[in-house]
Amino acid sequence: MRAIVVRRFGGPEVLESVEVPVPEPGPGQVRIRVAAAAVNPVDLATRTGILTEVGVIPPREVLGLGWDVAGGVDAVGEVGGAEIGGPGRRQPSARPAGRRPPFQVGDAVIGLRDRIATPLGAYAEQIVLDASAVALAPTGMSAVEAATLPLNALTAAQALDLAETDGTVLVTGAAGAVGGYAVSLAHARKRRVVAVASEADEALVRGFGADDFVPRGPALGDRVRALVPDGVDAALDTALLGLDALDAVRGGGEFVAFAAGAAPIPLRGIRVRNVWIRADGERLAELAGTLPPRVAGVLPLTRAAEAHERLAAAGLRGRLVLTP
Ligand SMILES: NC(=O)c1ccc[n+]([C@@H]2O[C@H](COP(=O)([O-])OP(=O)(O)OC[C@H]3O[C@@H](n4cnc5c(N)ncnc54)[C@H](OP(=O)(O)O)[C@@H]3O)[C@@H](O)[C@H]2O)c1
């Protein structure tokens, strides 16, 4: 099968389409025939080598790309020596106690590959994932749409969990893929949401559920405090503004950073933590039923380099999606 990998770091031109053996699912895993794979900032950071430089990815000869996948299960692994699932049949008795039900061949699913240092990712014709990282695809959504959900929905939800607040939440980068979902989820939890984005995106982020809008730009802390005089209770800094966003948080509040090196010094007793996405099929199933997909465009897998160029150029609203 074909897969897109990197064997040296650099610009989009280092993306290589290679022929690799079809991966086989092990116990508790499923193989998915990829119908759609979204392109995320983490793929660019993998390709350029930034994530290896900062120690997030150990040096590897071959790195796969792509975290988000939508497609159909085409093989299931074995549990205790007995094959589970298969075309047109389920074997509930084969399910080990305490594990979520296995998927069966033909199921339409979405999933998240959160093992970043592996030689194959979702930019491929087939991918093997742990069943615990997979959810049934939401009904009424195309594979292209569904592929935009896993990474960004789970990151937004897990970041909001980290923030542990009932109060006011600041979201920077609110028009972005993670930021938009963070606004929606905070709004659904009945938090007051202050969104920071380009002026042109005000209607978009208010549509996600923002109560207040602050245009991006200098003196962010002062402009947020004009609306929330003591400062917000928590900030989700998806735009990686660091200290500028921390300035808007009240003393003793919460700050969630989204990248290695993007966490500011924890001034004024603010608890600063990084969110690190983890796959969670059950949570993903819940989120997929509530959040809208955001597709910026669709390209064939062979044009992954062009997708990387477009994402790097900024200004996309939603995700570009690759189709093998
Ligand atoms: N730690 C984790 O587990 C995890 C998981 C997922 C994502 N992330 C990271 O989270 C970040 C956001 O990801 P994403 O997928 O949401 O990216 P995205 O879709 O590109 O969104 C980023 C948003 O931030 C906006 N922005 C940039 N500079 C800004 C500024 N100064 N003020 C306000 N908004 C600004 C961008 O606007 P323009 O496009 O107009 O520039 C864009 O709307 C990325 O760095 C990504 O790598 C981390």
pLDDT by residue for the chain (324 residues), tens only, comes to 999 999 999 999 999 999 999 999 999 999 999 999 999 999 999 999 999 999 889 999 999 999 999 999 999 998 654 444 433 334 444 444 434 347 999 999 999 999 888 899 999 999 999 999 999 999 999 999 999 999 999 999 999 999 989 999 999 999 999 999 999 999 999 999 999 999 999 999 999 999 999 999 999 999 999 999 999 999 999 999 999 999 999 999 999 999 988 999 999 999 999 999 999 999 999 999 899 999 999 999 999 999 999 999 989 999 999 999
152-274: what CATH class?
alpha beta
**Strand 29-39 and strand 2-6: pairing?**
unpaired
CB 74 within 8 A of CB 33: yes
What are the residue boundaries of the structural domains of the chain, listed by start? Answer: 2-149+293-323, 152-274
**Class (C level, CATH) for 2-149+293-323:** alpha beta
Closest atom, ligand 1, to C-alpha of 262: 45
The Å distance, Cα 176 to ligand 1 centre, comes to: 5
The whole-number pLDDT of residue 117 equals 83
Q: Which helix (H) or strand (E) covers residue 162, if one does?
A: helix 150-163
Distance 259 CA to ligand 1 centre (A): 10
**Strands (DSSP E) along the chain, which ranges?**
2-6, 16-19, 29-39, 63-64, 68-76, 78-79, 82-83, 108-112, 126-130, 134-136, 169-172, 193-197, 212-215, 232-237, 249-257, 271-274, 295-300, 319-323
Q: What is the pLDDT of residue 100?
A: 39
Please tell me the distance from the alpha carbon of residue 324 to that of residue 303, in angstroms, as a whole number: 10
Structure tokens at 179: 């930021």
- Among residues 62, 64, 74, the alpha carbon closest in space to that of 35 is found at 74
Ligand 1 atom index nearest CA of 240: 45
pLDDT given at position 285: 96
Q: Which residues form ligand 1's pocket by a CB distance below 6 Å?
A: 40-42, 151-152, 155, 172-173, 175-179, 196-198, 216, 238-241, 258-259, 275-277, 314-315
Residue 33 is predicted with a pLDDT of: 98
Residues in the chain: 324
**Distance from residue 178's CA to the centre of ligand 1 (Å):** 7
Check residue 272 and give its pLDDT.
98
Q: What is the pTM (predicted TM-score) of this model? A: 0.93
Determine the Cα–Cα distance for residues 295 and 85; give it in Å rounded to an integer.
32
Atom of ligand 1 nearest to the CA of 318: 19
CA distances from 324 to 18, 37, 40, 124 (A): 13, 8, 17, 7
The count of C-alpha atoms lying within 13 angstroms of the C-alpha of 125, restricted to the half-sphere facing its C-beta, is 10
For ligand 1, atom 12, the nearest C-alpha belongs to: 238
